[in-house]
Amino acid sequence: MTTTIAPSSGSLAKRIPEIRTARRRSGFTMVELLFAIAIGGILLGGATMTMNLWARSSASVGNYADMSGSCRRALDIFASDVRMANDVSESTSSSFVFKAFDAGNSTVSVSYVYDSANKRLTRTYDGTTHILLNDVEKFGFSFYDLNRVATTNALSVKEVQVEAILSKKVISISNTDEIISARFMLRNRRVSS
């Protein structure tokens, strides 16, 4: 078996400049690197802004869900108490105090008080106080008589309505939720027209 080697296209000394030129061309230029870094920075900035927006949106949804849930619970408790009321002793825009029947058909004292300094609504039922709502910016009770006319007289109160604005701040985002309840009738309360 015979092996032949093809003749070289030139000597090694002639090919060294070609090798050096090929090596120079195999890397990136400074302009190409700066351009790649700029595109990478734009993509990274866009991704960061998207994540930030997503985090804020999630916080807002959490705020609304929390406020909505606490409002529903508070209105359910309030409605249950008011429907069993039989005697009103105080009816102002920030407090409502009355006697109501409990499950054993006994009379208990119930009071709802809005504390504007601490921005919360508290409920005291038979001597035990609980916070019903926090972060309450504005709050007000409205009272109506048997003819559905607004009244401030505790002796003629037959219906009550709640209005409130809650505000919650998370991650420098402030969300608000507004409550305007239906009018709750004091079923067990006798009033004259």
> pLDDT at residue 3 above 70?
no
> pLDDT at residue 121 above 60?
yes
CA dihedral 84, 90, 96, 99 (to 10 degrees): -20
The closest of 119, 125, 155 to 137, measured between CA atoms, is 119
Share of the chain above pLDDT 90, in %: 30
**Residue 78 CB neighbours (<10 A):** 21
Give the whole-angstrom CA distance, residue 96 versus residue 114. Answer: 9
pTM comes to 0.68
3-state secondary structure at position 74? helix
